[in-house]
Amino acid sequence: MGNWLVNHWFSAAVLVTWLGINVFLFTYYFLFFDQDERYFYTRAILGSALAWARASAKCLNFNSMLILLPVCRNLLSFLRGTCSCCRRTLRKQLDHNLTFHKLVAYALALFTAVHTIAHLFNLERYNDSQQATDGSLAAILSKMHLKNSNKWLNPIHSNQTTVEYVAFTTIPGLTGVIITLALILMVTSSTEFIRRNYFEVFWYTHHLFIVYFAGLVIHGIAGLVRGQTEDSMEEVHPRRCAEYLVQKHEECRHVCCKNPEFSSIPAESWKWVLAPVILYAFERILRVWRARQKVVVTKVIMHPARVLELQMQKKGFRMEVGQYIFVNCPAISLLEWHPFTLTSAPEEDFFSIHIRAAGDWTERIIDTFQQQKPEMPRIEVDGPFGTASEDVFQYEVAMLVGAGIGVTPFASILKSIWYKFQQADQTLKTKKIYFYWLCRDTGAFAWFNDLLASLEQKMVESGKADFLTYRLFLTGWDTSIANNAALHYDTATDTVTGLRHKTIFGRPMWNAEFSAVATAHPRSVVGVFLCGPGALAKDLQRSCHQHSSLDPRKVKFYFNKENF
């Protein structure tokens, strides 16, 4: 448990706070609508379904307020910049933005289900009370619209009106249906399978959030659920006067013989979501403005294993190591934007990305640039945006783990280190870097073999040969490659990469790797950075937990993962 707390105590605190607010809101408003005397007559018709509907509505408003904040990329980058002097624990929390976004979305789905089911019960009870002729309080309250149209409590004013009619023709009913459908489509299209294999479906469906927020703001305007007015409460308090509604005679002279008056519950969803919607609108305007700035593609390189490298320039573009950008190619799609980690270093006079063929859009952009037309396709860029890898130089010891194309953020880091050694930078806090690269095929290693070779040479020339330890793992190979490597094992350089460090066939034994790092740096805080699949993330997180200690005299491993 102690080891787990090293990495997750702040995330756990945020989660507990969020859950606590949801529980408080639901409990407080459930009890309020279940006991408050202004809703005495409303409960006479609806029963406890009123409290279930209103309590879940409050939680829906709260989570709708939060859902946009984690996807305000510019806001997060600004916070990361302003928190540069803060503890790493606070900055790390910003890297869980998409996880929190999904969590809030699931909460919205849950409270939407509760709210919808409660209102279905409410509509059924409204309808039953309207048709009832038994002289009960609910039946009498439902007929009050016949005497004074301003004093109605039951929105169903006719025995011929059906539940379905109210659900699909009134403003609350229709917007409720639209909101629910939009939310269902957004949640289901966000599954890992859809995003990986049908990204366009996810991308376009997710923009139904505009419909969701528009419907949410309109939803409560009609105010079908009503309660007794404050003035009416003073004159005809329900605890004192309810029985007179049932037993009232024509000649009644008692003060309670007056009919109670009712008013709608004010719509307040807009108050919850106004600020985040405005903030997100500014976010999108800023993205459009930045995307319209001219981008010049200065160099196009086609690497093995169908990996396209684009080197670009843009006026005023400034980056840090490990950051990413969103890229759009109007010739392929006007609306689709895809994230790519920057592989260039801040010290270079250009910025670059590596694009691997992994779907329709990436296949098409690679084909487009391979055609070598006289005029280069136009590229639009939004960013850069901060990620976990920005913090790599905040640690004295860093473990960088890349899988396949996931090596890209570390290319930026390693290039930056190369430039820092070139310039004899004395401010570099990092004293040791362990770099692990896992690839399925040998062609992938060619992406930046030259960079690793230059780094090796530079470290030796600087007298810091021990600064960088890298281990390359080939996870997929055939017999001929393995036999060739075995025959030339005693040579100075590796037969697969041409580097001094030998390629390892198979997957890393992470417990052994972490144990070795812990032994070599017994009192250090080690930053573990991953750009790779979820399964590998679980392995590394487990190793971080197992080898970390709350004891300040022992090593601690902090896990960081790239999230887009």
Kindly report, residue by residue over 14-32, the tens digit of the pLDDT: 899 999 999 999 999 999 9
Residue 106 predicted with pLDDT over 80:
yes
Of the given ranges (170-174, 337-341, 370-374), which has the lowest mean pLDDT?
A: 370-374
Q: Which residue has the higher pLDDT, 309 or 9?
A: 309
Is residue 500's pLDDT more than 70? no
Query: What's the CA angle centered on 559, arms 554 and 564, to 5 degrees?
Result: 165
> Which residues have C-beta within 8 Å of that of residue 50, sequence separation ≥ 6?
33, 34, 39, 42, 43, 118, 122, 225
CA distance 405 to 278: 36
Hey, do 294-385 and 388-404+412-443+452-477+498-531+544-561 end up sharing a CATH topology, with the first three levels equal? no
Per-residue pLDDT of 284-293, as tens digits, reads 898 888 888 8
Q: In the predicted model, what is the mean pLDDT of residues 510-533?
A: 85
Q: Choose the CATH number for 294-385 among 3.30.230.10, 1.10.3720.10, 2.60.40.1220, 2.40.30.10.
A: 2.40.30.10
Tell me what pLDDT residue 445 has: 63
pLDDT at res. 301: 84
**Does pLDDT of 352 surpass 50?**
yes
Pairing verdict, β 338-341 and 324-328: antiparallel
Is the confidence at residue 2, as pLDDT, over 50? no
Share of the chain above pLDDT 70, in %: 82
Backbone angles phi, psi at 249, to 5 degrees: -100, 160
What pLDDT does 505 receive?
75
Residue ranges of the domains in the chain?
2-278, 294-385, 388-404+412-443+452-477+498-531+544-561
> Edge-to-edge, what's the strand order for the sheet holding 295-303?
295-303, 307-314, 351-356
For range 49-58, the mean pLDDT = 94
The Cα-based distances of 108 to 17, 29, 51, 59, 94 in angstroms read 17, 17, 18, 8, 21
4 has a pLDDT exceeding 90:
no
- CATH number belonging to the domain at 388-404+412-443+452-477+498-531+544-561, selected among 2.40.160.20, 3.40.50.80, 3.40.50.720, 3.30.360.10: 3.40.50.80
Give me the residue label for tokens 């606590």: 20
How far the first Cα of the chain sits from its last, in Å, is 29
Lowest-confidence segment of 82-86, 159-163, 381-385, 442-446 by average pLDDT: 82-86
3-class SS letters over 448-482: CHHHHHHHHHHHHHCCCCCCEEEEEEECCCCHHHH
Residue 488 banded pLDDT, cuts 50, 70, 90? very low
Q: What percent of the chain has pLDDT over 90?
A: 19
Residue 172: name the closest of 214, 115, 223, 210 by CA.
Answer: 223
- How confident is residue 550, by pLDDT bands cut at 50, 70 and 90? low
pLDDT-derived band of residue 85, with 50, 70 and 90 as boundaries? very low
| 210 pLDDT above the threshold of 70 | yes
